[in-house]
C-alpha cells in the first residue's frame, strides 16, 4: 500500500473497477489530517458505520501527530468497533470490504484498519421445509454464516466446541467454517478434512454441494455418499457430540456432516422424542419402504415376464389382459410411467405452490384415469410404479439414490428376470460395503459389526438403556471415531 491517501483511493477504485457499490467517505480529522472510509454499499449497516467508525473519527481530539503515530492512536483509542483488523495489502482490504467491513485509511500511513460494521440483509430463522418434525425445535439454519454458528453455540455451551474459518473458491472467496468438538473428533480426521477443503481448486463455491466431491475418500463419486446434509441445528449438534465434523458454507442453509452413515438416512429427530416401541416401528417402516421403492417395479416385470406361475390365476388374468390392451412392452411401459412421474415431480417442485397443486390434479386425472381408459398404460403397472414412488417419499434423504436404483432394477428385471435382480442386489451391497469416509465404513456399525452400537440402527432402545453404555468416544476400525 501507499502512504499517500490519494494513491490508495485511486488504487482501490481501479481494483474494484469503479463498481457502483464501491463507496468512499472522505473525512478531515481535527488536526487537519485527511482520512477515508471505504465500504461496499448494502454490506454495511449505516447505523453501525456511524457509531463505530465515522462519529469517533470526527469527534476525537487529535494532537499534531501524523503518520504511524496517528494511525496507532486511532487503532488503540478512537475506533469503538468490537472487530478491528490490521490490513497491510490490497487483497485483504478488498476481501474484508466485500465481507461487510469498513476500511479506514489515514494519509501518511501505508496500512488500513478493517472495522466490523456488517449489516447486510438475510433471511430470518425458520423451520426447514425439508426436515419437518412433529416434536422438536422449529429452528433451521439460514444463509448467514455467523447466524448459523450462533445457533450451534446456543445449543452446545461447550468450550471444546471449535469453529475454524477458511476461504474456498479462488474468485468467489466463499467463507466456510469447520465445526467440531475437540476431544471427540480425532485430530487426524480434522487435519485430513482441512487438507481436502484446501485442495478444492474451484473458482466459485456458491453452495455446500460444490464441496462434496472433494470430501469423499480418494475423490470417489458414486450413487451413495458419505457426506451428509442437514438444515437443523439440533441434528448437527447431535452429530458433533458423536465425533462428526460439520462444514458450514456461507450463503447456504445446508450444512455438511462428515462422516455420514447409511443407517442415518432412516433416523429422524422424532425417533428420539417418541416412545422406543413407536420409534422402532417407524424405523422398520422406513427400511421396508426403501426396499419396496427400489425393488417393486423390477420384481413386477421379472415375475410377469419370466415367472407368471407365481401369480394367482384371477390376478394373472387381469395382468394378461392389461398387457394385451397396451401397445408397449411391459419393461418399456414401466420405464415410461416412471419417467412421466419424475417429470410431474419436477414440475410440481419448481412451480409456485399454487400451480403445484394444479399439476398434481392434472397428473392424477390424465395418468391415473384417462391413460388407462385409453389403453396407453395398464392399471397393474401404474400401481407398481405409484406404490414405489410413494414409498420413496418415506426416506427423502435417499430419493436421488432410490430413483437411480429403481431404474437399474427395472432394466435388470426386464433383461434377466429374478437372476438379474439378485445379481444387481449383490453388486449394490458390495458397493455400499466398500465405501468409507475418513476411514469410517459407510455401513457401520453393521459391518464391521458392533453389538453395542446396533442398539440404534434397526431398533431404537430407550434412553435408560442407551445411557448404560459408556458415553466416551469409542475408536472404530479405520482410525476414525464417533460416539453414540
CB 145 within 8 A of CB 177: yes
- Measure the CA angle with vertex 24, ends 20 and 27; round to 5°: 160
pLDDT (tens digit per residue) in 272-302: 888 888 989 999 999 999 999 999 999 999 9
According to DSSP H, which parts of 310-398 are helical? 313-324, 330-350, 353-365, 371-373, 379-392
CB 404 within 8 A of CB 412: no
Q: Sorting pLDDT into bands at 50, 70 and 90, what band is 52? A: confident
Q: Sorting pLDDT into bands at 50, 70 and 90, what band is 482? A: very low
pLDDT (tens digit per residue) in 128-179: 887 888 777 888 999 888 899 999 999 999 889 999 999 998 888 899 999 9
Looking at residue 114, what is its pLDDT? Answer: 92
CB 254 within 8 A of CB 231: yes
pLDDT (tens digit per residue) in 325-355: 888 889 999 998 888 888 888 877 777 766 6
* pTM beyond cutoff 0.95: no
Which residue reads 422406543 in cell numbers?
276
Helix (H, G, I), strand (E, B) or coil at 210: helix
Mean pLDDT of 69-91: 87
**What is the spatial distance between Cα 158 and Cα 155, in angstroms, rounded to a whole number?**
9
Looking at residue 136, what is its pLDDT? Answer: 78
Mean pLDDT of 29-35: 88
Looking at residue 410, what is its pLDDT? Answer: 94
**Mean pLDDT for the chain?**
85
CB 277 within 8 A of CB 285: no
CB 441 within 8 A of CB 433: yes
Looking at residue 256, what is its pLDDT? Answer: 94
Q: Is 354 exposed, middle or buried (0-12, 13-18, 19+ CB in 10 A)?
A: exposed
Terminal C-alpha separation, the chain: 53
169: Cα within 13 Å, side-chain hemisphere: 16
Percent of the chain that is helix, strand, coil (3-state, to 5): 50, 15, 35
The least confident of 105-119, 284-298, 433-447, 450-464 is: 450-464
Q: What share of the chain in percent tops pLDDT 70? A: 92
- The C-alpha cell at 315 is 390376478
**What is the spatial distance between Cα 270 and Cα 279, in angstroms, rounded to a whole number?**
8
Looking at residue 447, what is its pLDDT? Answer: 81
Looking at residue 481, what is its pLDDT? Answer: 39
Other Cβ atoms within 10 Å of 127 Cβ, number: 14
Taking alpha carbons only, the member of 62, 51, 70 closest to residue 5 is: 70
**What is the spatial distance between Cα 109 and Cα 314, in angstroms, rounded to a whole number?**
92
Q: Sorting pLDDT into bands at 50, 70 and 90, what band is 361? A: low
Quick check: 468 pLDDT over 80? no
Cβ-count burial 453-465 (b if 16+ within 10 Å, e if not): bebbbeebbeeee
**What is the spatial distance between Cα 205 and Cα 202, in angstroms, rounded to a whole number?**
7
Quick check: 480 pLDDT over 50? no
CA 72 to chain centre: 43
CB 177 within 8 A of CB 247: yes
**What is the spatial distance between Cα 278 and Cα 370, in angstroms, rounded to a whole number?**
40
Q: Sorting pLDDT into bands at 50, 70 and 90, what band is 484? A: very low
Looking at residue 366, what is its pLDDT? Answer: 67
**What is the spatial distance between Cα 215 and Cα 95, in angstroms, rounded to a whole number?**
26
Helix (H, G, I), strand (E, B) or coil at 215: helix
> Which residues are CB-contacts of 209 (< 8 A; sequence separation ≥ 6)?
254
Query: How do beta strands 112-116 and 161-168 pair?
Result: unpaired
Other Cβ atoms within 10 Å of 63 Cβ, number: 10
Taking alpha carbons only, the member of 296, 218, 205 closest to residue 256 is: 205
CB 98 within 8 A of CB 66: no
Quick check: 477 pLDDT over 70? no
Taking alpha carbons only, the member of 269, 271, 239 closest to residue 482 is: 239
Helix (H, G, I), strand (E, B) or coil at 463: helix
Instruction: Name residue 168's beta-bridge partners.
Output: 174
Looking at residue 373, what is its pLDDT? Answer: 78
pLDDT (tens digit per residue) in 218-272: 766 778 888 999 999 999 998 998 889 999 999 899 999 999 999 999 988 888 8
Quick check: 181 pLDDT over 90? yes
CA 193 to chain centre: 16
Q: Sorting pLDDT into bands at 50, 70 and 90, what band is 460? A: confident
Counting every residue written for the chain, the total comes to 484
Amino acid at each position: 500500500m501507499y502512504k499517500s491517501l490519494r494513491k490508495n483511493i485511486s488504487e482501490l477504485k481501479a481494483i474494484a473497477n469503479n463498481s457502483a457499490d464501491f463507496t468512499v467517505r472522505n473525512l478531515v480529522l481535527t488536526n487537519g489530517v485527511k482520512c477515508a472510509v471505504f465500504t461496499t454499499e448494502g454490506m454495511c449497516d449505516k447505523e453501525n458505520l456511524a457509531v463505530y467508525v465515522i462519529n469517533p473519527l470526527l469527534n476525537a481530539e487529535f494532537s499534531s501527530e501524523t503518520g504511524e503515530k496517528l494511525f496507532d492512536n486511532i487503532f488503540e483509542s478512537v475506533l469503538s468497533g468490537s472487530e478491528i483488523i490490521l490490513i497491510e495489502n490490497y487483497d485483504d482490504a478488498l476481501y474484508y470490504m466485500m465481507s461487510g467491513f469498513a476500511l479506514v485509511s489515514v494519509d501518511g500511513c501505508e496500512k488500513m484498519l478493517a472495522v466490523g460494521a456488517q449489516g447486510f440483509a438475510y433471511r430470518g430463522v425458520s423451520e426447514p421445509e425439508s426436515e419437518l418434525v412433529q416434536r422438536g425445535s422449529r429452528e433451521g439454519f439460514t444463509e448467514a454464516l455467523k447466524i448459523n454458528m450462533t445457533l450451534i453455540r446456543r445449543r452446545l455451551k461447550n468450550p471444546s466446541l471449535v469453529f475454524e474459518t477458511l476461504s474456498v473458491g479462488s474468485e468467489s472467496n466463499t467463507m466456510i467454517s469447520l465445526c467440531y468438538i475437540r476431544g471427540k473428533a480425532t485430530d487426524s480426521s480434522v487435519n485430513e478434512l482441512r487438507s481436502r477443503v484446501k485442495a478444492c481448486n474451484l473458482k466459485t463455491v456458491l453452495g455446500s454441494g460444490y464441496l462434496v466431491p472433494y470430501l469423499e475418500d480418494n475423490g470417489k463419486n458414486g450413487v451413495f455418499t458419505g457426506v451428509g446434509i442437514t438444515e437443523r441445528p439440533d441434528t448437527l449438534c447431535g452429530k458433533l457430540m458423536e465425533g462428526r465434523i460439520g462444514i458450514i458454507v456461507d450463503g447456504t442453509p445446508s450444512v455438511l456432516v462428515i462422516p455420514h452413515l447409511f443407517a442415518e438416512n432412516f433416523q429422524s429427530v422424532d425417533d428420539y422424542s417418541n416412545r422406543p416401541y413407536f420409534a422402532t416401528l417407524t424405523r422398520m417402516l422406513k427400511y421396508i419402504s426403501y426396499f419396496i421403492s427400489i425393488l417393486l417395479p423390477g420384481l413386477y416385470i421379472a415375475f410377469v415376464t419370466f415367472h407368471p406361475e407365481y401369480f394367482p390365476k384371477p390376478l394373472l388374468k387381469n395382468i394378461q389382459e392389461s398387457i394385451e390392451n397396451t401397445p408397449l412392452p411391459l419393461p418399456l411401459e414401466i420405464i415410461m410411467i416412471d419417467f412421466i412421474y419424475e417429470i410431474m415431480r419436477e414440475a410440481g417442485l419448481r412451480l409456485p405452490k399454487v400451480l403445484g397443486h394444479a399439476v398434481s390434479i392434472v397428473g392424477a386425472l390424465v395418468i391415473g384415469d384417462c391413460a388407462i381408459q385409453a389403453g396407453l398404460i395398464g392399471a397393474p403397472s401404474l400401481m407398481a410404479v405409484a406404490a414405489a414412488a410413494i414409498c420413496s417419499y418415506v426416506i427423502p434423504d435417499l430419493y436421488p439414490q432410490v430413483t437411480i436404483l429403481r431404474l437399474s432394477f427395472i432394466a435388470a428385471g426386464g433383461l434377466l428376470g429374478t437372476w438379474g435382480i439378485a445379481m444387481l442386489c449383490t453388486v449394490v451391497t458390495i458397493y455400499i460395503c466398500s465405501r468409507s469416509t475418513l476411514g469410517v465404513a459407510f455401513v457401520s456399525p453393521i459391518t464391521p459389526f458392533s453389538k453395542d452400537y446396533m442398539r440404534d440402527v434397526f431398533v431404537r432402545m430407550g434412553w435408560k438403556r442407551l445411557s448404560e453404555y459408556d458415553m466416551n468416544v469409542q475408536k472404530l476400525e479405520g482410525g476414525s471415531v464417533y460416539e453414540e
